[in-house]
Amino acid sequence: MKEFIEEYVESIHTCLVGIPREDIQRLAGTLLLACERGATIFIAGNGGSAATASHLACDLTKTTLGTNPRDKSNRFRAVSLSDNVALMTAWANDEGYEHIFSEQIKNLGRVDDVLVVTSASGNSPKKEINAR
């Protein structure tokens, strides 16, 4: 067990130090600007990344408020597109799994909103979304 834990911690460390700090700063800046203009931040992920998407939406809408959250007026508008299982499976069943996020964006998205897509493996196919 100890060896497994050491390898796991080392793999997480290697992953984190490999992320360019400029990318983190650019994402943070994009999210802060979205908050300032009242845009919605949509977050999507498959599998375990669906849980990450939900957790990020929660952190943006609750955790960022800090102490005395009810006193905060400037709040993030964040939605995990992975949270509505009925809607996801309806789109997957009727139109194909590849539409489960793009069709939600077509319903909910507005100009200047932000879409964050998370993938632990990086193996999900990429597809351009035309939300109009």
Neighbours of 99 (CB within 10 A): 16
pLDDT class of 123 with cuts at 50, 70, 90: confident
Higher pLDDT among residues 65 and 100, named by residue: 100
Domains within the chain, CATH numbers bracketed: 21-118 (3.40.50.10490)
Cβ-in-10-Å burial (0-12, 13-18, 19+) of 82 comes to buried
User: Do 47 and 100 meet the contact criterion of CB atoms below 8 Å apart?
Assistant: no
Q: What is the pLDDT of residue 65?
A: 85
**How does pLDDT run across 37-92, given as a tens digit for each residue?**
999 999 999 999 999 999 999 999 998 887 877 877 789 999 999 999 999 999 99
Q: How many Cα atoms are found within 13 Å in the side-chain-facing hemisphere of 83?
A: 13
pLDDT in tens, 33-50: 999 999 999 999 999 999
